[in-house]
Amino acid sequence: MTATTTTEPAAATPPDRLAILNRLVARPEVGALLGAVVVFVFFTIVTTKFLKPLGISTWLDDASTLGIMAVAVALLMIGGEFDLSTGVMTASTALITGLLAVHAGWNIWLGLAVSLLFALTVGALNGWVVMRTGLPSFIVTLGTFLALQGLNLGVTRWATGTVQVSGVRSAGGYQSAGWVFASTTKIGNATIQASVVWWIVVTVIAAIVLVRTRFGNWIFAVGGALPTARAVGVPATRTKILLFMTTAFAGWIVGACNLLRFAGVQANQGVGLEFQYIIAAVIGGCLLTGGFGSVVGAAIGALIFGMARQGIVLAGWNSDWFMLFLGVLLFSAVLVNNAFKKRAERVRR
């Protein structure tokens, strides 16, 4: 009689746990979330000021306006396009509102309405030109950037004799508009700016639109494969025009927040920030090729910016180190995003 032995199979990851892990890793914002945790823990250890109420409110404030724009830019990048006029748009809309309110004597709400109409018109024009001509959006919006920068400087100097608009507090409607765009809320010893609330609201709305609506599916479709999207009936031109209008609208929100908070605006305000918006979106999981990304990730990318920039200041370091950090972060984000996209593609198969 021979004895038989049975061998136990090697322990394996339960299928349900493996499925959850695959879905988690496939999310484009996971890399940004991990990066945010690392930055948070690092500066919490380096400086005791980081987690104090003043420190928290400072880095949230720093990230808020960047986050508003990064979310809109992320939607556009997922749709396969870029907008280099986003930074200067924040100044253009603020200047229009300020000039009409201070130098033309208009109620500030009416000035805000005109500047919003201006922003949406420019955004629609950007989208229409890109889709009509087939030119890269990088080139089209670079032209818009230069044109708006020239208009900002020329018109402001012509109207005021300087390159700034000030005195907004004396305009009619300032109190109510200031409450909407520039009020503060006390939470314990921390002072939270209205821009932080706008950042949260914009992120929530954009996330719902992207993952829960037909328009969100259209965004992924036109960014991933434009000819295929058109072939199955996606209104590609309308979708991309609306995305450009979205970045312009976000620029209007940021312009209003800055104008009403500081009661003035410089003609060159926002110039150069367009690259930071794109970097925040890339850190958040957006690919430069389109069709992949997350608005929640872009918001987290902006939070990393705020924590790093203010953490360096709170630690007493030279702020020049922030640019080194930014370069390393961008390079790492691109590598991580590509790896996560490949993993997501394998999971879908």
Q: Of 139, 104, 140, whose CA–CA distance to 122 is shortest?
A: 140
In a domain, residue 5? The reply is no
Label residue 348 by pLDDT band (50, 70, 90).
low
- DSSP readout, 217-266? HHHHHHHH-HHHHHHTT--HHHHHHHHHHHHHHHHHHHHHHHHHHHTEEE
In a domain, residue 335? The reply is no
pLDDT tens digits, one per residue of 148-178: 999 999 999 999 999 999 999 999 999 999 9
Neighbour-count burial for 266-304, b at 16+ CB within 10 Å, e otherwise = bbbbbbebbebbbbbbbbbbbbeebbbbbbbbbbbbbbb
As a whole number, mean pLDDT of residues 293-322 equals 89
**Share of residues in the chain with pLDDT > 70 (%):** 89
pLDDT value of residue 4: 46
Domain that includes residue 309, residue range: 46-317
pTM: 0.89
| Cα 333 → chain centroid | 16
pLDDT value of residue 9: 47
pLDDT at 261 over 80: yes
Label residue 68 by pLDDT band (50, 70, 90).
very high
pLDDT tens digits, one per residue of 207-229: 999 999 999 999 999 998 999 99
In a domain, residue 238? The reply is yes
pLDDT at 340 over 80: no
As a whole number, mean pLDDT of residues 228-246 equals 96
As a whole number, mean pLDDT of residues 9-31 equals 60
In a domain, residue 31? The reply is no
In a domain, residue 345? The reply is no
In a domain, residue 10? The reply is no
Q: Of 296, 269, 268, whose CA–CA distance to 283 is shortest?
A: 296
Distance CA(300)–CA(120), nearest Å, equals: 26
Q: In this structure, what DSSP letter does residue 49 have? A: G
Distance CA(260)–CA(268), nearest Å, equals: 17
As a whole number, mean pLDDT of residues 98-104 equals 95
**Number of domains comprising the chain:** 1
> How are the residues of the chain apportioned to helix, strand and coil, as percentages rounded to the nearest 5?
75, 5, 20
pLDDT value of residue 2: 46
Distance CA(334)–CA(285), nearest Å, equals: 8
Helices (H), 86-136: 86-98, 108-133
As a whole number, mean pLDDT of residues 35-63 equals 91
More confident residue, 347 or 30: 30
pLDDT value of residue 38: 87
In a domain, residue 35? The reply is no
As a whole number, mean pLDDT of residues 183-196 equals 90
Relative orientation angle of helices 174-182 and 108-133, to the nearest 10 degrees: 50
Type of residue found at 202: V
In a domain, residue 28? The reply is no
pLDDT value of residue 121: 98
pLDDT tens digits, one per residue of 288-307: 889 888 999 999 999 999 99
As a whole number, mean pLDDT of residues 337-346 equals 64
User: Which of these ranges, 36-40, 75-79, 110-114, has the smallest mean pLDDT?
Assistant: 36-40
Residue 51 sits in a domain whose CATH number is 1.10.3470
**Share of residues in the chain with pLDDT > 90 (%):** 69
